[in-house]
Chains A and B, each alone.
Chain A
Amino acid sequence: MLPVALLIILTGLLLSGCATRLQAPALLGDPPDDLPRQVELEDTPFHPQDLYQCGPAALATVLNVQGIGITPHALVSEVYLPARQGSLQTEMLAATRARDLVAWPLPPRMDALLRELAAGHPVVVFQNLGLNLAPYWHYAVVIGYDLDEGIVILRSGTIERHVNTMGRFERTWRRAGYWAFLAQPPDRLPATATPLSWLRAANDLERTGRLEAAAGAYLTATRAWPEHPVGWIGLGNARYARGDLEGAEQALKELVTRDPTSHAGWNNLAHVLHARGCGPMAREAAACALRLAPDEPLYRRTRDTVAPQPGSGEECGLEIETWPNPGLKCPD
């Protein structure tokens, strides 16, 4: 029994999060050379919050920056819970996506925050202005910083230009789990985006039915990281879901041309070709997926789906001579 008790105590100590150290001192002591010394996004609008409604105010601020004319008042019904006197983080993200913007969660790092500001992106941050035991939750928008002065500048609550020392700000941000996000147009990558973080945000748009924005965000991913297969699949799937079969086919063909071993690419291409009525080509693509991954039950299903239906006249919009495309070959 003793080891189990020890285990519980040790895990508890680790999970309590008492070990994290402030990042600001190191960042101020030795800031990256490529980071500007000062940034202030002065054009960021300001909405003084009413009562506890910092969530709607912060959200309206960043939506305005993206050219969406909305007031905090109009957002109250979407992101404000009267009983909780606050806004849930998930609802802040959902309201952003509902405007066809990519709600991109920032990595929990001070340097990422500063880099986004340097790239001209104001950041919505979640803070705990109180103590861990008596939290006072708050949303604000960080609009600038000054490395020489060691400060960050926020649009916060009823203060249009709230200046905080970097260490003090980080403590309030850390107490809220370093939670922050950007509201980005689908064609504009955050400065600190990694392929997977951006793709996940694009996928959130796809899964909530914002297909046009999702396709746009995936397209951006394929331009920034053409070697990454998931961006192409996402682009193909989102276009297919919108009924843009030609566009879907183009994206998936691009993927299997770049990486002929992408069985998921071949599989999905089979469905797109099938939907276009291009039976023989669909069967070839399906066979290729199955040859690359013989144990995948999904691909067996695809093979059955695209199998010839007796009596159905298949009419394919493609010229049969162009298939197989010279650059498009199933690897042996």
Chain B
Amino acid sequence: MTRHPLIRRLLTLLCIFSLLATVTSPIHAGMVGTDRLIQTEQGLVDRAQLLSSLERADVQQQLARLGVSNEEAAERIARMTDEEVRLINERLEDMPAGAASVLGVVVLIFIVFIITDAIGATDVFPFVRPVN
């Protein structure tokens, strides 16, 4: 066995690097990774799904009752990050289709307005003052 501490350390590093190399996919750094494309696609699908829920007459009715127009809601969705859209969709999936869940959808979008108002990104509800 090698006794020199420096060589031993280098060998250890080499072992670690060779392990890392097997973990990451060995495609060229300049190539577009599959995971990145999947993420982008997922973002588009999520957004389309959320926007399509606004098309439903019952949802539009509820939004109108809250004083939010369909266009405003769609605009909000357009401004959300992929992550925010995903979170909302996740909640929507939890709610089975039916009259009771529609209220849930609307309340959820309503809450998103409040959050974005609170962080100062939007000004939909005048009673919410930005926290900063």
A-to-B contact residues, CB < 8 Å: 3-4, 7, 10-11, 14, 17, 19-21, 23, 26, 108, 196, 199-200, 202-203, 206-209, 211, 218, 229-230, 233-234, 237-238, 240-241, 264, 267-268, 271, 275, 298, 301-302, 305
A298 and B28 CA atoms in complex are apart in Å by: 11
B48 contacts A by Cβ under 8 Å? no
Determine whether the beta carbon of B26 is less than 8 Å from that of A241: yes
A19 and B34 CA atoms in complex are apart in Å by: 36
Query: Chain B residues with Cβ under 8 A from A240's Cβ?
Result: 27-28, 31
Determine whether the beta carbon of A3 is less than 8 Å from that of B114: yes
Determine whether the beta carbon of B93 is less than 8 Å from that of A271: no
Determine whether the beta carbon of A203 is less than 8 Å from that of B94: no
Determine whether the beta carbon of B93 is less than 8 Å from that of A108: yes
A14 and B34 CA atoms in complex are apart in Å by: 34
Determine whether the beta carbon of A10 is less than 8 Å from that of B31: no
Closest to B35 in A: A203
Known: A230-B34, A233-B37, A264-B32. A208 touches B94 (CB 8 A): no
Determine whether the beta carbon of A302 is less than 8 Å from that of B30: yes
Closest to A13 in B: B107
Per-position binary interface string of chain B over residues 12-39, scored 1 when its CB falls under 8 Å from any chain A CB and 0 otherwise? 0000000000111111111111110110
Determine whether the beta carbon of A234 is less than 8 Å from that of B32: no
Determine whether the beta carbon of A3 is less than 8 Å from that of B37: no
Interface of B is mostly: helix
Determine whether the beta carbon of A237 is less than 8 Å from that of B96: no
Task: Jot down 5 A-B pairs with beta carbons below 8 A, ordered by A.
Answer: A21-B96, A21-B100, A206-B35, A268-B32, A298-B32
Chain B nearest CB, measured from A12 CB (Å): 11
Closest to B91 in A: A14
A230 and B38 CA atoms in complex are apart in Å by: 7
Determine whether the beta carbon of B38 is less than 8 Å from that of A3: no
Closest to A275 in B: B28
Known: A233-B37, A237-B27, A271-B31. A14 touches B45 (CB 8 A): no
Per-position binary interface string of chain B over residues 83-102, scored 1 when its CB falls under 8 Å from any chain A CB and 0 otherwise? 00000000101111010110
B115 contacts A by Cβ under 8 Å? yes
Determine whether the beta carbon of A7 is less than 8 Å from that of B111: yes
B50 contacts A by Cβ under 8 Å? no
Determine whether the beta carbon of B34 is less than 8 Å from that of A206: yes
Determine whether the beta carbon of B25 is less than 8 Å from that of A237: yes
Known: A19-B104, A196-B42. A207 touches B27 (CB 8 A): no
Determine whether the beta carbon of B111 is less than 8 Å from that of A301: no
Chain B nearest CB, measured from A225 CB (Å): 12
A23 and B93 CA atoms in complex are apart in Å by: 12
Query: Chain B residues with Cβ under 8 A from A305's Cβ?
Result: 28, 30
Query: Chain A residues with Cβ under 8 A from B115's Cβ?
Result: 7
A234 and B37 CA atoms in complex are apart in Å by: 9
Query: Chain B residues with Cβ under 8 A from A241's Cβ?
Result: 25-27
Determine whether the beta carbon of A209 is less than 8 Å from that of B23: yes
Query: Chain A residues with Cβ under 8 A from B129's Cβ?
Result: 3
Determine whether the beta carbon of B107 is less than 8 Å from that of A10: yes
Known: A23-B96, A237-B33. A200 touches B25 (CB 8 A): no
B54 contacts A by Cβ under 8 Å? no
Determine whether the beta carbon of A19 is less than 8 Å from that of B118: no
A267 and B94 CA atoms in complex are apart in Å by: 39
Which residue in B22, B30, B108 is a CB contact (below 8 Å) of A267? B30
A202 and B35 CA atoms in complex are apart in Å by: 10
Query: Chain B residues with Cβ under 8 A from A267's Cβ?
Result: 30-32
Known: A4-B118, A209-B23, A237-B27. A203 touches B111 (CB 8 A): no
13 further contact pairs, Cβ within 8 A, besides A268-B31, A298-B30: A11-B111, A19-B95, A20-B94, A26-B96, A196-B38, A196-B45, A200-B42, A203-B38, A206-B25, A230-B34, A233-B34, A240-B27, A267-B32
